[in-house]
Amino acid sequence: MGEEPPHLALNIPHREKQRHMQNSTPRLPHRLKTRRIERALAIFSILTVIIAWFVGSTIKEAAAETYLHNALPLATGFQEVAPGIYLATDKARQAIGYVGIGEGTGYGGPMRMAVAVDLDGEIVGVAMVDHKETPAYLERVFESTFLRDLLGKNYDQPFELGKDIDGVTSATYTSKAIADAVRRAVREIAREGLGHGVPHEPKPEIIFGLPEITLILLFAVGYLGRTRKIKKTRYVRWVTMLTGMIVLGFIFNRPLTISKINMFLMGYFPNWRTDLYWYLLLGGILFVFAADNRNPYCEWFCPFGAAQECMGAIGGAKPRFTRDQQRILDWVQRGLSWLAIVIALLMRNPGVTSYEIFGTLFQLRGSIVSFVVLGIVLIGSMISHRFWCRTLCPVRPIESLIRLVRGWILEIWRTQRRKQA
Amino acid sequence: MANTKKKTSLMTYLLMAMVAICIALLATQTLSDVREELQKQSSRERYAIAAEFEPGGMEISLKPTPTPTPGPPPPTPTYDITEGE
């Protein structure tokens, strides 16, 4: 929405940029008019997002009681013995076990599971009550043997991926959220229902590993690179791009997506101890933006951006769109991003409108449609510089919006200061 | 010069067509996901797959179970779903 400074615009080589800009430099009145329209639309988009947030927040969560029977179909009656813990009885009104509701945090937000245990404390059934996950990822878990593997486990087991449970490849967040929810429910049942002395869960350990270290290093190099404090910027940038693509993309599959942004907008804040990465990523971007009006992520280490640039290097990609064409494409892109956010907020599901194809490239998973789009985007990237970023990426319009709002605030502040002077 | 312009123009049209195809495909897929989610929300049929333990045969089976029709919340914390009772 804001005009991109000449040095930005996705790192177009300077000569190409000059040629690209030759089409026409808009006259001043035209630019002022455009700016007014952009600001009006920015206010409209922010207001609609706020309205969608309030409308979405009125959606009631599923009543957990409805799902007790799914976790323990043999039971005919349920009696609440403690908050979220139900004693299950059969037709003869004999106790046959307990069903508890546990909560975990998935990729898109909170998730609730109904867990049934028998009177010995072993899991005999699990059922999902509520979730905010991207449907495709959840399907992967349900198609695997992950739920089956939880059966027979006891409250004294750790329920940790890689220890006593195998996570589902490329649905790690969802698998972990289910395991956490089940562990909490089982331990609560053991404590409140079966009367075992199970200690309360300790705070989780702070996870600070390779992705977090890589992210901090990339931010530092990206920031220094943008401020031209390091020499041979071009080569350093390729190093950061390739590192981002390999580490944050292919190894950990953690590019910034619209569903992550939606998740924060909805107030589903993950535990900072276990999800420090996302706080570092979003906090880092916002900090550099606020301080310097620059976005090192997109240009220096966005994994998908790097993949496009690799394709561009092979095909000799150039900026192919004229200024006017790019302006039209920008508005289409903004409209798509706005729709994705508003619908997700209305439905209280961050991942439901996530249309990025990052997982398709980095995990080689996705529908046929995703693979077709990925193929088109990669071919497009060979011809046109950063084809996805310039036409479809839903994150770029958010960056433009932040830049516009920042510029507007600074303009008001400067005007006020001038008046005071 | 004219040839170069024509080529550029053709390339741009090709890229525009690629963008349009991508938008159409992604919109179809996303709308399908949204429709599915809406159906689930309206019927409250989330992922209601339950693992059922059968004590008689000591056999474990994983099968989808129908979600009971939601009704108004019961007045007491006792949930009895036995037929005829």
Q: Is the pLDDT of residue A18 over 70?
A: no
Q: What is the mean pLDDT of residues B18-35?
A: 94
pLDDT of residue B65: 46
In a shared domain, residues A183 and A226: no
DSSP strand pairing (A77-82 vs A85-89): antiparallel
Q: Binning pLDDT at 50, 70 and 90, where does residue A158 land?
A: confident
pLDDT band of B7, cuts 50, 70, 90: low
Residues A80, A127, single domain; the answer is yes
pLDDT in tens, A366-390: 889 999 999 999 999 999 999 999 9
Specify if A7 maps to a domain: no
Do A282 and A255 share a structural domain? Answer: yes
- At residue A169, the pLDDT reads 80
What percentage of chain A carries pLDDT values higher than 70? 92
Q: What is the mean pLDDT of residues A314-341?
A: 93
Confirm whether B18 is domain-assigned: yes
Could you tell me if B57 lies within 8 Å of chain A, comparing CB atoms? no
Q: Looking at the structure, do residues A52 and A80 belong to the same domain, yes or no?
A: no
Residues A360 and A295 placed together within one structural domain of the fold: yes
Q: How confident is the model at residue A26 (pLDDT cuts 50, 70, 90)?
A: low
Domain membership of residue B43 as a residue range: 2-64
Q: Lowest-pLDDT range, A199-203, A296-300, A310-314?
A: A199-203
Q: Are residues A238 and A372 in the same domain?
A: yes
- ipTM summary value: 0.81
Inform me whether the pLDDT recorded for A19 exceeds 90. Answer: no
Specify the number of domains making up chain B: 1
Q: Confirm if A344 and A352 have CB atoms less than 8 A apart.
A: yes
Structure tokens at A164: 């006593």
Å between B3 CA and nearest CA of chain A = 16
Q: Is the same domain home to A390 and A333?
A: yes
In a domain, A307, yes or no: yes
Q: Work out the burial of residue A361: count CB atoms within 10 Å of its CB; fewer than 13 is exposed, 13-18 middle, 19 or more buried.
A: buried
User: How much of chain A, in percent, has pLDDT values that exceed 90?
Assistant: 50
Domain end (from A192, A224, A243): A192
Share of chain B above pLDDT 70, in %: 36
Examine residue B10 and state whether it is found in any structural domain, yes or no: yes
Instruction: With beta carbons less than 8 A apart as the criterion, state whether A1 and A42 touch.
Output: yes
> Domain for residue A52, yes or no?
yes
Is residue A77 situated within a structural domain?
yes
Query: Does residue A412 surpass a pLDDT of 60?
Result: yes
Residue of A nearest to B23 (CA): A392
Domain stops at, among A159, A192, A225: A192
Q: What is the pLDDT of residue B61?
A: 41
Preferred mutation among A16, A70, A98 to probe B, highest tally of B CBs within 10 A: A70
In a domain, B51, yes or no: yes
Summarize pLDDT for A250-281 with one digit per residue, the tens: 999 999 999 999 999 999 998 899 899 999 99
Asked if residue A313 is part of any domain, the answer here is yes
- List the single residue in A with minimal CA-CA distance to B85: A91
Q: Is A289 exposed, middle or buried (0-12, 13-18, 19+ CB in 10 A)?
A: middle
- CA distance linking residue A291 with residue A313, whole number of Å: 32
Query: Quick one: A339 and A399 in the same domain?
Result: yes
Picking from A55, A58, A67 by the largest number of B CB atoms within 10 A of its own CB, the best residue to mutate is: A67
Are residues A76 and A47 part of one domain?
Answer: no
CA distances to A164, A207, A339, B35, B66 from A150, in Å = 9, 24, 38, 31, 21
**pTM above threshold 0.90:** no
User: Confidence band (pLDDT; 50, 70, 90) for A294?
Assistant: confident
| Residue A27 pLDDT | 63
What is the domain-level CATH number for residue A128? Answer: 3.90.1010
Is residue A167 domain-shared with residue A241, that is, in the same domain?
Answer: no
* A2 inside domain: no
The predicted pLDDT at position A63 comes to 73
Which residue from A minimizes the CA distance to B83?
A76
Clarify whether residues A41 and A120 are in a common domain: no
Domain that holds residue A245: 14-58+207-420
- The answer to the question of residue B21 being in a domain is yes
A72 and A24, same structural domain? no
Buried b (16+ CB within 10 A) or exposed e, A23-60: eeeeeeeeeeeebeebbebbeebeeeeeebbeebeeee
Question: Which carries the bigger pLDDT value, residue A296 or residue A374?
Answer: A374
pLDDT value for A62: 67
- For residue B47, name the pLDDT band (cuts at 50, 70, 90): low
Supply the pLDDT for residue A416: 93
The residue that leads in pLDDT, A412 or A143, is A412
| Over residues A31-58, mean pLDDT | 92
